[in-house]
Structure 1
Amino acid sequence: MDTTSIKNLFKLKTIPIEPKQEQLPKTEIDSADESLEENRKRSYHELGYRDSSRTSGNHSTLFICLDSVYSKFQNEEKEMVEKQKKLKESYVNEQKNREAEIKALTVSQETKEELLKKKNSEIESHQHTIDTLTGEILDLPRNPEKYNVKATRGASAKFVIGLILLIPITLYLGTFYISTSYSAFFKSFDAKSTVIQSVLDANAWIKAWNDGFIEAAFVTLIPFVFLGLGFLIHMFGENKTKANYVKLGLLFIITFIFDCILAYEIESKLYDLNRTFDSPPFNLTIAFTKIQFWGIIFAGFIVYIIWGLVFDFVMKEHREKDKIRSEQEIRQKKVISLSEKINALKKEIEEITANIGNSKELIIKTYGRIEELQNIIDGVIIPTKDYKSYASEYVQGWITFIGEKIAVSRTEKQTMIDSCIEVYNTNLETVGANSDNQNLVYLSSL
């Protein structure tokens, strides 16, 4: 078998694989470089031929010789400064990019840490404001003037006392006007009835219901007329204007006249009950001379005025109390709003803290990558793709000797060649130059 046929038999097939490392930029190789490359390949071919002649093409010895060839190739690559520089260029660029990335991450982290301090400061400020407002809410009823609130201290106590007085007076007016209105308009007097029994009938409301719905509704609702008049007195008294004073005067006159009508009707019935043939007809002149007439008026009208004054006092105290409550509610709403802001800030702080943690983790990983890149830059890059080419030349020289000089049968010669190829492939696997990773680089420390 001639040399050409052996070379064709051993010719390697290159499998194109997408490179995992950034490929170096291609440059034109001048004729001098081509000549140097050819000479280098020729030297490996001749070295293989020579070593094979010394060992009679023994494939076991080939394994040791290939280790020596790899060491030779490694030493040669170390001496090629410009080639090493080009091989390391992508790693240098990546290292610079990683360093720039760390600077950006560091700036971003510092910014986030400043923002975190600001958020925590805002929370402390809001919490301090909440504590202050809570203290003011508790202190407002005792010292309203301290907070420029125009309200009287102890308004709540006065309000309660006034309300306690207002309830029985209201019940009294209801009882009085139910009895007097029933006596004045619906009750029939008899000779056995006393003045008190005629005016205040304990069963007036029950009797009115027995007499009919109209009578019952009249005596039931008439007290609310007087209470409504008292409420209007309070409302008109809030605004100190001449028109309101006139309205107040008219309300008092109307109430007084209504009480006079009730007293007149009752007194008229009592007068008719005791009237003789010589008695003159009952009129206002006679009514004004009767003590019970004025007693009925003052028992209703004076108490009605007292009720109006107490009601006005209670409403004023309630207003004072409302001022304090209003200020408390304003502060309470601020507390709620600030609490919501604090919760929102806490969520933002959690997100910022998580981002800072991610940034720190990424910085650590980037520093690790920079260290790896520095190790690559400080070491020697052995291009296994190139080694495969030179090792192929060496083995071809080795096999050429077997084909030309070993005097054995063709079958034995082919067996030797196959064994050598197997050793060659094993060596490529050992140094990481197998066909699957032919575009990767093999690193070796200096």
Structure 2
Amino acid sequence: MDTTSIKNLFKLKSVPIEVPKQETSKTEDTPKIEAESFEESRKRTYHESGYRDSSRTNGNHSTLSICLDAVYSKFQNEEKEMVEKQQKLKESYVNEQKNRETEIKALTVSQETKEEQLKNKNKEIENHQNNIETLKAEILDLPRNPEKHNVKATKGASTKFWIGAILLVPISLYLLTFYISTSYSAFFKSFDAKSTVIQSVLDAQALSKAWNEGLIEGAFVSLIPFVFLGLGFLIHMFSENKTTGNYIKLGLLFIVTFVFDSILAYEIESKLYELNKVFDSPPFDLKIAFTKIQFWGIIFAGFIVYIIWGLVFDFVMKEHKEKDRIKNEQEIRQKNVLFLLEKINVLKKEIEEILGNIGTTKELIIKTWGRIEELQNIIDGVIIPTKDYKLYASEYVQGWITFIGEKIAVSKTEKQTMIESCIETYNINLETVGANSDNQNLVYLSSL
């Protein structure tokens, strides 16, 4: 078997190595030729070494395995001495390492920012919790010390309110009774000689008698007390805003009420006068009415009580307002408490999210540092381009097989068996050093 046929046989057992095409200018032709010359010289050296080592061992494939290990060590040392080539091979790893270091800085800044955010949010939660405790204390203390919390309300307003409200009930009943009786007596009742002054003014059956006499009479007598109660309510309304206009309105209310009470007293006193007058008695008029004690008694029995009712009602409403003011302040603070609790819940969710981001960032930093260490190991070591080793190892084996084909005198069948054993040993070696056909572009790292 000649040298050409051996090379053809070996090529059938090898996988072609793809070399990227590069465009070069005419000025680069000379360096390219020199590079190609070095490569050819190196290939020839490996080929001759294979031929020579095969001659020493008579082409033994078991010995070939040991020799290929030595070839790999030799190739490794040669690659280590090629500083410029190593730098070029490591350039991508150096760039990646720089990028990873930049990424570490960015991740560290991000982590510090998130930790600062976490600190601020925890402090914000603490402030909210302190505010909540303060608000709760104010809610409990407001009824006792409203002025302490800048609330213009009288302490103990609730007790005064209930006392006034209780007093309003009997006074209101009195006014209802008085005005029902006096209005019935003044406008509808017929007096007789046996009627006393008290019986003429106050009639226990005034309401039922008025309704018996007719719908109009009954409605008038039943509803007229509420006119006075309404006037009393207006006293409170006008006294709330202390203006000149309201004081004038308040004075007019008192005058109207006094006049109306005077009319009731005049009508009743007129009926009593007509019942008791003699032949020479003058006609009843205001001059005579002003001289009658019962006239003034009827006026003041209604008017004075009406004023008292209005003042008590005004006092009760003011106390109720004081009580409402405290209650409103408590409700405002309670709403603030709920608002702050909602903010705390939102902040806690944000803190959980930040903690998750910090954990993720720390994992990325650890992972990136691990990759930087891997890259540093690659940079500190020797990069073995497996496709180059495969090229020169194949030259070595070709030299080995060439010797078998040219110099060993055995049968053709036995020679073919020896060659196939050598090729098998070669493929095993490629698998061992990671230079098999499936991973031609893989680089093998040996840390030295």
Category of TM-score, reference length = shorter chain: 0.7 to 0.9
Cα deviation, residue 229, structure 1: 0.8
Cα deviation, residue 159, structure 1: 2.2
**Match of 2:71?**
69
How do 1:36-435 residues align onto structure 2 when only pairs under 5 Å count?
Answer: 36-186=38-188, 196=198, 199-205=201-207, 213-268=215-270, 283-284=285-286, 287-288=289-290, 291-435=293-437
What is the alpha-carbon distance in structure 2 between the residues aligned to residue 420 and residue 253 of structure 1?
A: 136
- Structure 2 gaps of 5+ residues are 21-27
**Match of 1:32?**
34
| One-letter amino acid of the counterpart of residue 345, structure 2 | N
Percent identical residues: 82
**Match of 1:441?**
443
Cα deviation, residue 74, structure 1: 2.1
**Match of 1:5?**
5
- 1:57 partner SS: coil
What is the alpha-carbon distance in structure 1 between the residues aligned to residue 336 and residue 222 of structure 2?
A: 48
Query: Once the two structures are superposed, what CA deviation does each residue of 1:146-167 show, in whole Å capped at 9, x if it has no partner?
Result: 3444433323322222222223
Cα deviation, residue 396, structure 1: 1.8
What is the alpha-carbon distance in structure 1 between the residues aligned to residue 408 and residue 222 of structure 2?
A: 141
Q: Is contact 2:17-2:387 (8 Å) kept? A: no
Cα deviation, residue 35, structure 1: 2.4
**Match of 1:23?**
none
Cα deviation, residue 89, structure 1: 2.2
Q: Is contact 2:61-2:418 (8 Å) kept? A: yes
Cα deviation, residue 308, structure 1: 0.8
Query: Once the two structures are superposed, what CA deviation does each residue of 1:11-67 show, in whole Å capped at 9, x if it has no partner?
Result: 23337699xxxxxxx999543333222222112212222333344434344333322
**Matched residues, number:** 439
| One-letter amino acid of the counterpart of residue 308, structure 1 | G
What is the alpha-carbon distance in structure 1 between the residues aligned to residue 364 and residue 149 of structure 2?
A: 54
What is the TM-score when the length of structure 1 is the normalising length? 0.84
Given the superposition, is the C-alpha separation of residues 252 and 66 from structure 1 closer, same or farther in structure 2, using an over 3 Å criterion?
Answer: same
- 1:442 partner SS: strand
Given the superposition, is the C-alpha separation of residues 271 and 390 from structure 1 closer, same or farther in structure 2, using an over 3 Å criterion?
Answer: same
What is the alpha-carbon distance in structure 2 between the residues aligned to residue 225 and residue 329 of structure 1?
A: 37
What is the alpha-carbon distance in structure 1 between the residues aligned to residue 409 and residue 206 of structure 2?
A: 151
Cα deviation, residue 216, structure 1: 4.5
Given the superposition, is the C-alpha separation of residues 444 and 188 from structure 1 closer, same or farther in structure 2, using an over 3 Å criterion?
Answer: farther
What is the alpha-carbon distance in structure 1 between the residues aligned to residue 208 and residue 429 of structure 2?
A: 123
What is the alpha-carbon distance in structure 2 between the residues aligned to residue 78 and residue 17 of structure 1?
A: 22
Query: Once the two structures are superposed, what CA deviation does each residue of 1:199-236 show, in whole Å capped at 9, x if it has no partner?
Result: 44445545555655544543443222212211222222
Which shows bigger deviation, 245-254 or 75-84?
Answer: 75-84
What is the TM-score when the length of structure 2 is the normalising length? 0.84
What is the alpha-carbon distance in structure 2 between the residues aligned to residue 207 and residue 4 of structure 1?
A: 148
Given the superposition, is the C-alpha separation of residues 281 and 412 from structure 1 closer, same or farther in structure 2, using an over 3 Å criterion?
Answer: farther
What is the alpha-carbon distance in structure 2 between the residues aligned to residue 17 and residue 139 of structure 1?
A: 88
- 2:172 partner SS: helix
| One-letter amino acid of the counterpart of residue 2, structure 2 | D
What is the alpha-carbon distance in structure 1 between the residues aligned to residue 152 and residue 17 of structure 2?
A: 94
**Please, what is the CA RMSD of the aligned residues?**
3.4
Query: Once the two structures are superposed, what CA deviation does each residue of 1:281-303 show, in whole Å capped at 9, x if it has no partner?
Result: 65545555555444433232211
Cα deviation, residue 309, structure 1: 1.0
| One-letter amino acid of the counterpart of residue 7, structure 1 | K
